[in-house]
Amino acid sequence: AQSVKRIGIGSNGWSKIIFNGKTAYCNSKYLSANKPIDSLYHNIVIGEPGTNSNIVAYANQRWNDLVPGWLKQRFVVEGWHLVISSTPLNIRFGYSVSIAGYTHYDSHTILLDNRKSAVKRAMMHELGHFIDSVNQLTSGNGIFPREIDEFYEIFELEKYNFHDCFASGDGHEISNVVEYFASVFSNIILNRQNCQEQVPRSFEF
């Protein structure tokens, strides 16, 4: 797929376009306003041996359909991986309660629990941790965005106005500035208008 500029639409189903600097004509049914995403950035979720293949397929469907193209590209280009864990994450990392996702910064890996509900709730949240991490690494000062004083002040002012669209009910999303950053990022992608209305300063940051 390539980008073209449409300069006219005929009543016969054809469009007049500029392609490689020249005027040309194209059947309108072959044009789309959506920018194509490189296939390299699709279906990247893998399952460890023993995971449910239906869960892996579901995770890839959510990745393909809901994650914005710029975020897909950056995730892959930065060398990160999205994996469905064969071992329940609470056992894997020694938690006493069930957890849906875990971001392992050192190995550039997001792990999701082998449950559909976990994938639905945690994928975009963990991608918020990814964004926090890669922006820390590229900021030049080694500071995570959520470590900036301005964001901490915003967190304290707005956290009780925030309602995560995938909250589990335990207050995890506002328990600290790290989880709040990831939760707000998730809701900007999945629940944009409500997020902007609830926490406008967090949204703008």
- pLDDT computed for residue 36 by the predictor: 59
By residue count, the chain amounts to 205
Instruction: Name the least confident of 20-29, 116-125, 138-147, 185-194.
Output: 138-147
Cβ(112)–Cβ(87) under 8 Å? no
- pLDDT computed for residue 166 by the predictor: 77
Predicted confidence (pLDDT) at residue 141 exceeds the cutoff of 90: no
Q: Count Cβ atoms below 10 Å from residue 47 Cβ, excluding itself.
A: 20
HSE-CB for 42 with a 13 A CA cutoff = 7
Q: What integer best gives the mean pLDDT of the chain?
A: 88
- pLDDT computed for residue 170 by the predictor: 74
Task: Locate the DSSP E strands across the chain.
Answer: 5-9, 14-19, 22-27, 46-47, 81-84, 101-104, 109-112
Cβ(134)–Cβ(182) under 8 Å? no
- Quick one: 68 exposed, middle or buried, by C-beta within 10 A (0-12, 13-18, 19+)? exposed
pTM recorded for the entire structure: 0.78
Summarize the confidence of residues 87-102 as an average pLDDT.
Answer: 94
Angle in degrees, CA 14, 20, 24, rounded to 5: 25
Q: How far apart are CA 76 and CA 82, in angstroms?
A: 10
Summarize the confidence of residues 42-52 as an average pLDDT.
Answer: 95
Which pLDDT band holds residue 137 (cuts at 50, 70, 90)? low
